């Protein structure tokens, strides 16, 4: 893990540990979640600077607009993050009413 990923991991552990006792599988999920979040930040910055699409000229001479690979990767990261959050949520005790507030952050 990079330093940014480690920092994000420790932030996630600190936040999630308020809602549940973390086991080894939770910690592994949080590691993956930290990596996904850092990757998402980089991809989002690229998309913000360059836009979600690019254009090029086809052999026929038509101008074609396509989604940037980085935008597609960003969408995939969001899906992975959603799955990870759902998995963490399903393993969290229902006695913690503040979980929805945490997920909304």
Report pTM: 0.77
| Cβ–Cβ under 8 Å, residues 92 and 20 | yes
DSSP per-residue string spanning 18-72 = TTS---HHHHHHHHHHHHHHHHHHHHHHHHHHH-SEEEEE-TTS-EEEEE-HHHH
Calculate what percentage of the chain has a pLDDT beyond 90: 74
Mean pLDDT of 51-58: 94
**CA pair distance 47, 20, nearest whole angstrom:** 35
Q: Answer yes or no: is pLDDT of 102 > 60.
A: no
Q: Which residues, other chains included, contact 87 with Cβ-Cβ below 8 Å and sequence gap of 6+?
A: 29
């Amino acid at each position: 893990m990079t330093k940014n990923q480690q920092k994000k991991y420790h932030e996630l552990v600190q936040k999630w540990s308020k809602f549940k006792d973390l086991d080894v599988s939770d910690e592994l999920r949080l590691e993956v979640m930290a990596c996904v979040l850092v990757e998402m930040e980089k991809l989002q910055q690229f998309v913000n600077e360059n836009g979600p699409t690019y254009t090029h000229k086809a052999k026929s001479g038509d101008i074609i607009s396509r989604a940037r690979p980085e935008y597609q990767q960003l969408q995939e990261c969001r899906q992975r993050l959603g799955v990870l959050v759902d998995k963490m949520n399903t393993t969290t005790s229902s006695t913690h009413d503040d979980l929805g507030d945490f997920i909304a952050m």
